[in-house]
Amino acid sequence: MKILIVRVGAMGDVLHALPAVAALRRERPSWRIDWAVDPRWAPLLIGDDERGPVVDMVHLVPAKEWSKAPFSRATLRSVLGLRRRLREEHYDLVVDMQGTLRSAFVGRFAAAKEFAGYSDPRESMAARFYKQKITRRGEHVVEQGAALLGETCGVKLQPGAVELPHAQWADEWAEELVGSQRVCLLAAGAGWGAKRWPVEKFGALARELHAIGFTVLVNQPRKDDPLAAAVVAASEGAAQVVGCNVTGLVALLRRTALLVGGDSGPVHVAAALGVPLVGLYGPTDPTRNGPWGGGPMRVLRDPSSLTSHKKIDETEAGLAKISVEAVLEAVRSLLGEALI
């Protein structure tokens, strides 16, 4: 059996799809399982040897580059090249775990015998491409993904632990950076402003964590991202910026004692790795989109927060109400005697 998973992005969404695919790998170890993904998130699936603990191969879908020049010759060559490579694999089944028109197009490129997706995908037009339309079941998106994949494959799947790949260079870099320090990583960024806890509160939290013995690092996913620098400035020297790509982030988190952040990719990486974490939620519902993993975690959300996916710049009012003291109390309840 040859299966292609289509879950192009984003980071957290790839990680939320991974437990279902990992469960299928455990149940059917002899099956060929490949994945179509944005190049930025491929390190979550494959390591230095271009293979991973869950998938056999990835097909890179440079959707961000396509969107910059959708009508260029380079984009056309890239799209046609991906279509050719997918068709050459002769997949028995394609499962669209994303549910957008773009992911449906990518899945259709493979011309598989069966193409499945949700009956109510994120973008309703995507359902027109599916041969199998599967009713969404489960509260959390991880549970929904397991139900979708399990039904299409005829295998009962229980989403569980996942394993992320290693890269030697990243492990060596992170080991040298962290050493014997007790590191807390702050993930101040998020997909849009409403999901970002205020910079000033992150800065105040950094001061408190530094005072009890943490080396506080602030994740900077891109050199041109000013948010991490703003948190460091607000921390009055208690924190420092650490710039790293996805591969480096995974290696760093493996050596981190604590992560605090909003609904963002680093939170979901930490959850997958079992790193103690405090998640700060506002406009997104953690019962559906919260961190998923077997490690210690606390998720804070003010009762006044309303679920909304409006991509606005201002911090959601309920999220802004979460106090530094509440986050510190969550940290204490997580780490207990380890703070002494």
Question: Do 226 and 308 have their domain in common?
Answer: yes
> Is 265 found in the same domain as 321?
yes
Query: Residues 120, 136: contact at Cβ < 8 Å?
Result: yes
Q: Which domain holds residue 22?
A: 2-153
pTM: 0.95
10 domain-assigned: yes
pLDDT tens digits for the chain (340 residues)?
999 999 998 999 999 999 999 999 999 999 999 999 999 999 999 998 888 999 999 999 999 999 999 999 999 999 999 999 999 999 999 999 999 999 999 999 999 999 999 999 999 999 999 999 999 999 999 999 999 999 999 999 999 889 999 999 999 999 999 999 999 999 999 999 999 999 999 999 999 999 999 999 999 998 888 999 999 999 999 999 999 999 999 999 999 999 999 999 999 999 999 999 999 999 999 999 999 998 999 999 999 999 998 899 999 999 999 999 999 999 999 998 666 5
Residue 289 CA to residue 322 CA, distance in Å, equals: 19
Q: Is there a single domain that holds both residue 184 and residue 141?
A: no
Q: Is residue 270 part of a domain?
A: yes
Interatomic CA distance for residues 83 and 89, integer angstroms: 10
Residues 276, 331 within the same domain: yes
Query: Max alpha carbon distance in the chain (Å)?
Result: 60
Distance between CA atoms of residues 137 and 55, nearest Å: 24
Instruction: Give the CATH number for residue 118.
Output: 3.40.50.2000
Strand partners for 183: 215
Whole-Å CA distances, 325 to 219, 242, 299, 332? 22, 25, 14, 10
Task: Provide the domain count of the chain.
Answer: 2
Q: What distance, in Å, lies between the first and last C-alpha atoms of the chain?
A: 53
